[in-house]
Amino acid sequence: MTPLLTTQGLSRHFGGLRAVDNVDFSLDPGEIRAVIGPNGAGKTTFVSLVCGRFAPTSGSIRFDGQDITAMPAHLRVRLGIAYTFQITSVFAKLSVYDNVALPVQRTLTDGRSRGAVCHGAMEALERVGLANRADVPAGALAYGHQRLLEVAMGLALKPRLLILDEPTQGLSDGEIDNFIGLVREIARDATVLLIEHNMPVVMDLAHRITVFDAGRILAEGSPAEIRANVAVQDAYLGTTHGAGA
């Protein structure tokens, strides 16, 4: 299988800090890949390089065989890369519906008719369980529901690669269960790259797991292989952890 996404020697330095350090990475189409690691391991910086928020210091990124290393973020979105942020970035004063209608418009080629926009927006909201809150100002949603709104905004772009950064943060146990089912449904049509601190979610969802530590890949493997990896246990699984850079 030809990988959907690859990086070679990918690095990002902030002064003397090597936030991402010479990373070779490969992601297959249709895969659910989890990225884990301790605080400051480079996880969010890595996916920010993939989606174009940061430019790499060195190395290359290829998406579906195309070199996108120097491509601006908005063009990567058009290629099918969607990213939900670690910190919510919804438009607080706009309605839930309008937040999703905006990305829907970017996917339409039929003149952006009102009916097509409405259909796309409500379909995305229904998938994340927010259709009944369509008229509510986004800023009035509970934090966990704002996270789900961000996922709906990503889904509205009809991505080939959906990058989710700490998506279960703020969700109740029942909402997390629904989220797991949603990601499995998304993976029928798209590839999912997931940064997540909730280890039961990671172990339940991921086909494979990539472990970052100090800007480098410490280990990769199936959930069972990662759970049994002594180096991963020492660096991460045996520690108290949360969201990180």
85 band by pLDDT with thresholds 50, 70 and 90: low
Distances (CA, A) of 1 to 5, 29, 47, 207: 12, 8, 22, 15
Domains of the chain: residue spans and CATH: 1-80+161-245 (3.40.50.300), 89-158 (no CATH)
Work out the mean pLDDT of the chain and round it to a whole number: 90
- pLDDT value for 90: 87
Q: Which two tokens stand for residue 64?
A: 């579906």
The tens digit of pLDDT for each residue in 183-192 reads 999 999 999 9
Q: Do 223 and 202 form a contact (C-beta atoms < 8 A)?
A: yes
pLDDT digits (tens, 9 = 90+) for 24-70: 999 999 999 999 998 899 999 999 999 999 999 999 999 999 999 99
Beta-sheet strand order (sheet of 58-63): 17-27, 5-14, 58-63, 66-67
pLDDT digits (tens, 9 = 90+) for 151-175: 999 999 999 999 999 889 888 998 8
Q: Which two tokens stand for residue 115?
A: 């009916």
Question: In what helix (H) or strand (E) does residue 199 lie, and over which residues does it extend?
Answer: helix 199-205
**Predicted structure pTM score:** 0.87
Q: Per-residue pLDDT tens for 114-138?
A: 788 999 999 999 999 999 999 999 9
Name the amino acid, one letter, at 15: G
Exposure string over 43-69, b if 16+ CB within 10 A, otherwise e: bbbbbbbbbbebebeebebbbbeeebb
Query: What confidence score (pLDDT) does residue 39 get?
Result: 87
**Of 144, 122, 143, the residue nearest 133 (C-alpha):** 122
Residue 32: closest CA among 164, 165, 194: 194
